[in-house]
Every structure is written in structure tokens, then in C-alpha cells.
Structure 1
Amino acid sequence: MRSSTPASRLVYSTDTGRVCPECRQAAADCRCKALVATPKGDGIVRVSHETKGRKGKGVTLVRGVVLDAVALATLGKQLKAQCGSGGTVKDGVIEIQGDHRETVIAALQKQGMTVKRAGG
């Protein structure tokens, strides 16, 4: 029988299916996801407009939202739908195509968040 070393971790079992490499429980029973801390911030969401590196096309950036990745993606989807525009979520920053600062600020304040307009 082999000893369990970092180089040979079990990732799949025929009995339970996928196995979490951290806690070694079945993926459905994994508790690691629940233990992941949400990002920390100062509690202020900053909304800005930026064109740098986008060939002159402007995007509205939403930074400082203290949510986990799934909730942040859901919020991004809601904001994009409300603005009627496309966008993405990258590295904890929601990007919405176009200048929608006022719409985004109003939507976030309606959800009870402290929002500041950043940039210009």
C-alpha cells in the first residue's frame, strides 16, 4: 500500500466519485468551499469609468464588492441586465460595457450598499 504524499493525491474514487483534494471527502460532501473566506474590503463599493487599454471603448468598473465569486457573478449578471449591456467579471471587478455609472450606482444603493463614484 502506498503512503499518501502530496505528489499522489486521490482525485476520483469508484465508490464516491470525485474527491476533494483538500479535505479528501466526496465532492458533494466537501466542506472546503464553505470555509473559504469572502474577500475583505472597506465596505465601500467604487464605481468608475475607464477606456484605458480598450481601444477607446469605455467600460464601467465596479470594485470593492465584498461577495464570493458566485454571488459576484450573479450581481454582475443583474447589473448587465439592468443596463442592457454586456460585460464580465474579472479578478473581483465587474466590468459593464459602456458608461452606465449612474444606473449602476442607483442599483447598488437600492440593494443597501455604500457606493462612491471614483475616477472622474
Structure 2
Amino acid sequence: MSLGDLGGLVYSTEAGRMCPDCRHPVAQCVCKALAKAVPAGDGVVRVSRETKGRGGKAVTVVKGVPVDADALVALGKQLKAACGSGGTVKDGVIEVQGDHCTAVIALLQKQGHTVKRAGG
């Protein structure tokens, strides 16, 4: 078993606490800057309706929104409020409970996004 198997360097007498992900000193950690970066994509927001793995319940899924993580959470909250239902934002995807594709597409187009209906 080596030091790399244990998760890497955690503390250095030279630099202090070390970030376990990027291996830089905590004061110079670049993980948060990388997490806030806008995901690369084709600039088209895709809206679809899924039922798979949800007990037959319909969920409106929004993928490919070219904004950072904080703005994605705010957009998800705005979409859920406009549709009057719950939902979540995870892994760069907004999920709104229920079949609200037309309302979501209209709201995203009003905000200036290029939107396509994906799926059937």
C-alpha cells in the first residue's frame, strides 16, 4: 500500500493543508474554479419528457443549458416555480416533476436560449 492508495498528501509542513482533489494547497485550490466553469456544448438546450426508472411518473428533463452551476440552480428554481411543481438540479440537468415541456420551452425561449424538443 502506497501513499497514493490512501488518498494522497493531506498536510505539508511547507504549505499547510492540501486539497485532496487537485493536490494544491487549500489557499490555492483550483477545484471550485473548475466546478463553476461553463460546460462545453453545442449551445442548444434540449427539453424532453422521461418516465424511465420513475415508476411511470413523467418528468421534464432540461439538458445542455450553457450556464455555470449557480445559475443552473437558479434557473431550475425559476422553472419549477413557473410550472408549479417540484424537481431537482443534479449533474448539470434540471428535472421538473410532471409533463411541462411546452411551458419550459416557452420560458427558455423567452430568456433567449436556443431550445429543441428532444425525444418523442
> Per-residue deviation at 1:30?
4.8
Note closer, same or farther for the CA distance 1:47–1:19 as it changes in structure 2 (3 Å cut). Answer: same
Look up the SS of the partner of 2:95 in the other structure. strand
Look up the SS of the partner of 1:54 in the other structure. coil
Count of residue pairs the alignment pairs up: 113
TM-score by length of structure 2 reads: 0.75
> Per-residue deviation at 1:33?
2.6
> Per-residue deviation at 1:89?
1.3
Note closer, same or farther for the CA distance 1:56–1:32 as it changes in structure 2 (3 Å cut). Answer: closer
Residue 33 of structure 1 corresponds to 32
- More displaced stretch, 63-72 vs 97-106: 63-72
Residue segments in structure 2 that go unaligned for 5+ positions in a row: none
Paired letter, 2:109: Q
Residue 110 of structure 2 corresponds to 110
TM-score by length of structure 1 reads: 0.75
**1:35-69 Cα shifts (integer Å, max 9, x gaps):** 55321111100111111111110000101112222
Residue segments in structure 1 that go unaligned for 5+ positions in a row: none
> Per-residue deviation at 1:90?
2.2
> Per-residue deviation at 1:92?
1.4
